[in-house]
């Protein structure tokens, strides 16, 4: 009888421990840069939540510049650039491509909406 109790305790510890770990890992959002846009072009995240942006270029070198969130990341074709952030201020934060990538470069915009939970 005691054997079953300890096995049950061990199973619950493993299961609950795994859930706790999964909940504490940051949300991952994939963003693709290509001439002359980001996909998706807008994201919404919760204030105080940790988020990892996985940035990839589909063609030429780009960058993601969001001054209000202190992000300036180079994005190269075939490689993932990860940026982890935890915004502590709500609001709308405008971003753009910070590296000239052709005639439509000026239209390459990005928006992060940070909302109160």
Residue labelled with tokens 């994201």? 43
Helix (H) or strand (E) segment spanning residue 111: strand 109-115
The rounded mean pLDDT for the chain is 86
Class of domain 32-115: mainly beta
Rg (CA), the chain: 20
The length of the chain in residues reads: 117
Q: Which tokens belong to 11?
A: 């199973």
Instruction: Match 């609950």 to its residue by tokens.
Output: 16
Of 1-5, 23-27, 30-34, the poorest mean pLDDT is in 1-5
Task: Copy the structure tokens of residue 77.
Answer: 């074709």
Q: Tell me phi and psi for residue 3, to 5 degrees.
A: -55, -45
Q: Is the pLDDT of residue 10 over 90?
A: no
**Other Cβ atoms closer than 10 A to 87:** 20
């Amino acid at each position: 009888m005691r054997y079953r109790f300890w096995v049950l305790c061990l199973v619950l510890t493993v299961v609950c421990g795994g859930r706790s770990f999964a909940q504490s890992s940051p949300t991952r959002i994939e963003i693709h840069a290509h001439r002359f846009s980001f996909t998706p072009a807008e994201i919404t995240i919760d204030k105080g939540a940790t988020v990892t942006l996985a940035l990839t270029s589909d063609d030429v070198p780009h960058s993601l510049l969001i001054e209000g969130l202190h992000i300036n990341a180079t994005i190269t074709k075939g490689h993932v650039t990860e940026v982890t952030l935890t915004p502590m201020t709500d609001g709308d934060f405008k971003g753009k491509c910070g590296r000239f990538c052709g005639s439509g470069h000026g239209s390459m915009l990005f928006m992060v909406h940070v909302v109160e939970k």
